[in-house]
Amino acid sequence: MPSKNIFLSVNIVGGILVLGGYALGLSFYPEYNEALWGGVQGTLRNIFTISMLPAAVGYLTFCYITMFKNGAEAINRNSIIGQHPVSVLSAIFLASAAVWMPTLIAYIHTGESYWWILSVSSLWITGLSLLTLTIITSNTSTSEMSQLSKNAAVIGLAYITFHCLVIDAIVWVSMYQ
């Protein structure tokens, strides 16, 4: 199966799992909506919320370049970590992102510390998989895709990586009450 098709499949399935999990969590447990924010209040909550938009746009930019600007082939061919690293790392990112809300809701509901550990671990796995994807993409040769495409992919990935690692895995975790 071509790299683009694998990547597309991973993102369709993963995207459904992430967005579906959020939709189900928020609709079945509306009483936990405030608790999901932890200690994040006021202006900082607005910053978190606003940051989600460029993070999503950044990942979608990367997806566009991967699908339509020869990114999948260029990144995969130049990778030192095996076949289809773009799809594998995207799958890890999306799977771990899909785990966060259900595990946090389980923690809020039961108070069992292992759910908290799984929830925080999912944030770190999400951020670190994106960081790895950013590094691999930034080290990709531009002989197979344009410098502009590479730069746009790296910038998009860098922002979502910042959001997931710094805002979610560090700031949100440290503020959670």
pLDDT at 54 exceeding the cut of 90:
yes
pLDDT at 31 exceeding the cut of 80:
yes
Q: pLDDT tens across 62-83, in order?
A: 999 988 887 777 776 666 666 7
pLDDT at 30 exceeding the cut of 90:
yes
Radius of gyration of the CA atoms of the chain, in A = 17
The boundaries of the domain holding residue 166 are 3-175
- pLDDT reported for residue 82: 67
pTM for the structure as a whole: 0.93
Which of 121, 116, 125, 120 lies closest to 161 in space, CA to CA?
125
Count structural domains, the chain. Answer: 1
Instruction: Categorize the per-residue pLDDT at 140 as very low, low, confident or very high, splitting at 50, 70 and 90.
Output: confident
Asked if residues 108 and 32 have their Cβ atoms less than 8 Å apart, the reply is yes
Mean of the per-residue pLDDT values of the chain: 92
125 or 3, higher pLDDT: 125
Instruction: Categorize the per-residue pLDDT at 3 as very low, low, confident or very high, splitting at 50, 70 and 90.
Output: confident
- pLDDT reported for residue 78: 61
